[in-house]
Structure 1
Amino acid sequence: MTTFRTIDDLDSNQRLLARIDVNAPVEDGIVQANRRFARHAKTILELLDDDHAIALLAHQGRPGRNTFVSLEQHAGILGDYVDQTVDFVADTYGTDALVAIEELESDDVLLLENVRMCDGELPEEEPSVKAETEFVRTLAPMFDAYVGDAYSTAHRSHASIVGFPHVMDAYAGRVMEHEYSANSAIRERSFDGTVTMILGGRKAEDAIPIIERVADTVDQFCLGGIVGELFLRASGSDVGYDVEGTTLFDHQWEDHHETIERVLAAYGHRLFLPIDLAFEDENGTRTETPVEGITKKTSFLDIGSETAERYADLVSDSAAVFVKGALGVFEDERFADGTVDVLSAIADTDCFSVVGGGDTSRSIELYELDENDFSRVSIAGGAYTRALTGDPLIGIEVLDPNRNGEVTNH
């Protein structure tokens, strides 16, 4: 397990450069607050309590997408969470940014402009290469230490993630520390009882390696979503292919059916597949049908109630539960039952539980479940998947003060 120093190890009253991840939905040009702001605000508040002066690095969207906007609105949202002004400068390492950094005093917070708008941040390259960018060489001497708190992007070898800790004293913020601990638990901890994993979502290529990589520590897998249908197809059911208007299944089956069939043959006795599915009938009503004897004529949008009850029973008898991906199209309230019912069962069970994987954690907020009923609700997507499978997270590895030489993000 990678070791790193945390903000507990920092001397007080320093000038800090902190990388956070407040990448958020953007609707009609308006940035929407999400769980990430609240999580990073806790790190910022702790640093303010120790009289640090803080400059923040963050990104929003990717070049070419409509979510690729300035961070000016993010500063206002963050300010609400930390209950003080978060200053903003529309610059990252130019003259305006350097002047604003020079003027930082104890207990000040400054948000620099979207790092993906500056040269050197992208593409992914080795830490030693990123450390030589003008971006890093200009900003690093301005600070006493670097705080890496952007766990959600810890799998990305970008300059703001790996370049600064390559040349500066580096520490993990609270989000980085707690996310890494919770998401690595599946490989690092022992549990006195059954370990269950809920696997859903749209991407079979995400779920398949998880099953094979954690089979030594996970006792049973409950499948739903696109992943569940593809495994049902491999088991002989007439589902898991595209119908008119969909393009979700056939290409994934073509790319991964051999692996799905191999996983089913090796671990089939530990894989629980849906026994009923839900769809929208001609009246727009949720309707359920058993999988046995099924012929797919329309899109299935959720696991059925019998499947949800079965999965909930399995969860209730578990010592630990890890969730990756939704079991249905929970954004539509008619087809949220499977995801919400299973999450509710996890919340009601006295077990160690981690919920993650892109939008899945959003369902907790959407359906007013209590986040405190879970051990961890991860804000990470790709980094969460890599942690589950044991793949290295380069943004974590570069924080290790004992590392020797270069690290790579295989």
Structure 2
Amino acid sequence: MANFRTIDQLDPKGKRVLVRVDFNVPMQDGEVTDATRIERAAVTLKELMGKGAKVVALSHFGRPKGNVEPAMSLAPIARALGKALGGIEVAFGKDCIGPDAEATVGGVQEGGIALLENLRFHVGEEKNVPAFADALAAMGDVYVNDAFSCSHRAHASITGLAERLPTFAGRLMEAELKALTNAIGGASRPVAALVGGAKVSSKLDVLGHLLDKVDVLIIGGGMANTFLHAKGIDVGKSLCEKDLADTARSILEKAQAKRVRILLPVDGVVAMRFEQHAEHRVVPIGQVGAEEMVLDIGPDSAAAVEAALVDCRTLLWNGPLGAFEVEPFDKGTVAVAQAAAKLTDDGRLLSVAGGGDTVAALAHAGVLERFSYVSTAGGAFLEFIEGKDLPGVAALSR
């Protein structure tokens, strides 16, 4: 993990503190429908406000591509943020640079907070245009990055500000980096990684990097079908990247050479239609009908994963084991998630999970708060466990 300063090393009293947060949250009809990211960021914001900082929160929302899109305004988020901060009023700047933003920031008192408008209303944000970064930096005395989920992007508010102002990691950033580093680099052995999701192609780098870090690699979801196909097993009409069979075989061979145990499904829940409560059956892998799709792991597969986790001390989880969004194809993911949560409750397992689908799957299983740490980051989480340097994280150590 990069050597970086946290807000423990910052005396923010009286300073204008620019805090990069990730408020790219679900919205419907102008209302925030899931405030998880806002509530997590509130920890850092409250601490800075309590220490007398003049806090200025910066975020993007959606993909307006440099255009002002009223539907992507952060104004509704200012209201949700005020609620997360205990029912206070958050000053809102109708732009993130220029006279309106400067006036909004100028009006923030010690212990107060403002939220500026969507950074991506300006093309300078994503292109990291120096003049745009200069304009942002001119409104602050120090910079706090609390947006790990955005730190795989070299944008103006991520790396540009870190190059221009004294830089510190916020509490959420600090927690993310510690949890992921402990799970990947400094984990108690044996270590298990559960990698699911639809496609092998999107997780190739993850799988390759994890072979050097784990003792057990559990492969589920649609991507397991590609590995089963590579072993000569017919998976019917299941989602399967047959053109990656050679790649899958190579991963299996490397795992064997590194003495990493691979767990693939031994049975599956199959159906001829992918829809709610579709007619389905449980079959041993190898007995999937020509017109059937494997949509979840079966009970024997779930039991095998649970048994493997009992012998492990660390679990890194990314991706569901089946099509959990549609019943009854959620049972495998739910069973394994609850088993991992129980081991975590008992102090026998450090469980770290991340990625959008993973968060949704764990929430569906009712165990989101029982894992040791759950990251809301998507792309940044994947790139971190792929072993890549994240620009925003690297910038913290400068």
**TM-score (normalizing by structure 2):** 0.90
- 1:215-226 alignment runs, 5 A limit: 215-226=211-222
- 1:2-81 alignment runs, 5 A limit: 2-13=2-13, 14-28=15-29, 30-63=31-64, 69-81=72-84
- 1:147-162 alignment runs, 5 A limit: 147-162=144-159
Aligned alpha-carbon RMSD (Å): 2.2
Q: How far, CA to CA, are the matches of 2:177 and 2:196 in structure 1? A: 22
Contact 1:186/1:217 (CA < 8 Å) preserved in 2? Answer: no
Amino acid at match of 2:42: A
Question: What is the match of residue 99 of structure 1?
Answer: 103
Amino acid at match of 2:223: V
Contact 2:270/2:288 (CA < 8 Å) preserved in 1? Answer: no
Question: What is the match of residue 245 of structure 1?
Answer: none
| 1:398 correspondence with 2:395 | yes
Cα deviation, residue 294, structure 1: 2.4
In structure 2, which of residues 167, 171, 196 is the aligned counterpart of residue 170 of structure 1? 167
Q: How far, CA to CA, are the matches of 2:300 and 2:100 in structure 1? A: 60
Task: Report the 3-state secondary structure (helix = DSSP H, G, I; strand = E; otherwise coil) of the residue aligned with 1:334.
Answer: coil
**TM-score (normalizing by structure 1):** 0.88
Measured against aligned partners, the alpha-carbon deviations of 1:231-288 in whole angstroms (never above 9, x if no partner) come to 111111112756xxxxx53xx432x333212112222562111111113467724432
Moved over 4 A (4+): 64-68
Question: What is the match of residue 262 of structure 2?
Answer: 271
Amino acid at match of 1:141: A
Q: How far, CA to CA, are the matches of 2:187 and 2:270 in structure 1? A: 39
Which is worse superposed, 28-37 or 170-179?
A: 28-37
Contact 2:236/2:291 (CA < 8 Å) preserved in 1? Answer: no
| 1:115 correspondence with 2:109 | no
Contact 1:230/1:240 (CA < 8 Å) preserved in 2? Answer: no
Task: Report the 3-state secondary structure (helix = DSSP H, G, I; strand = E; otherwise coil) of the residue aligned with 1:318.
Answer: coil
Cα deviation, residue 368, structure 1: 2.4
Which is worse superposed, 156-165 or 257-266?
A: 257-266
Q: How many residues are aligned here? A: 384
Unaligned runs of 5+ in 1: 124-129, 243-247, 402-410
Q: How far, CA to CA, are the matches of 1:307 and 1:262 in structure 2? A: 23
Amino acid at match of 1:168: L
Change (3 A) 1:71 1:240: farther
Change (3 A) 1:365 1:87: farther
Task: Report the 3-state secondary structure (helix = DSSP H, G, I; strand = E; otherwise coil) of the residue aligned with 1:3.
Answer: coil
Unaligned runs of 5+ in 2: none
- 1:3-402 alignment runs, 5 A limit: 3-13=3-13, 14-28=15-29, 30-63=31-64, 69-83=72-86, 84-123=88-127, 130=128, 133-191=130-188, 193-239=189-235, 249=240, 252-254=241-243, 256-267=244-255, 270-280=261-271, 284-349=278-343, 350-371=348-369, 373-401=370-398
Cα deviation, residue 67, structure 1: 11
Amino acid at match of 1:225: G
Instruction: Give aligned-pair identity as a percent.
Output: 35
Task: Report the 3-state secondary structure (helix = DSSP H, G, I; strand = E; otherwise coil) of the residue aligned with 2:143.
Answer: strand
Cα deviation, residue 133, structure 1: 2.5
Q: How far, CA to CA, are the matches of 2:289 and 2:201 in structure 1? A: 25
Task: Report the 3-state secondary structure (helix = DSSP H, G, I; strand = E; otherwise coil) of the residue aligned with 2:158.
Answer: helix
Task: Report the 3-state secondary structure (helix = DSSP H, G, I; strand = E; otherwise coil) of the residue aligned with 2:381.
Answer: helix
Contact 2:220/2:322 (CA < 8 Å) preserved in 1? Answer: yes
Cα deviation, residue 63, structure 1: 2.6
Task: Report the 3-state secondary structure (helix = DSSP H, G, I; strand = E; otherwise coil) of the residue aligned with 1:56.
Answer: strand
Change (3 A) 1:376 1:47: same
Q: How far, CA to CA, are the matches of 2:261 and 2:203 in structure 1? A: 15
Q: How far, CA to CA, are the matches of 1:310 and 1:68 in structure 2? A: 47
Amino acid at match of 1:257: A
Change (3 A) 1:266 1:281: same
Measured against aligned partners, the alpha-carbon deviations of 1:29-73 in whole angstroms (never above 9, x if no partner) come to 543224211210111111112111111111111137999711111
Which is worse superposed, 103-112 or 298-307?
A: 298-307
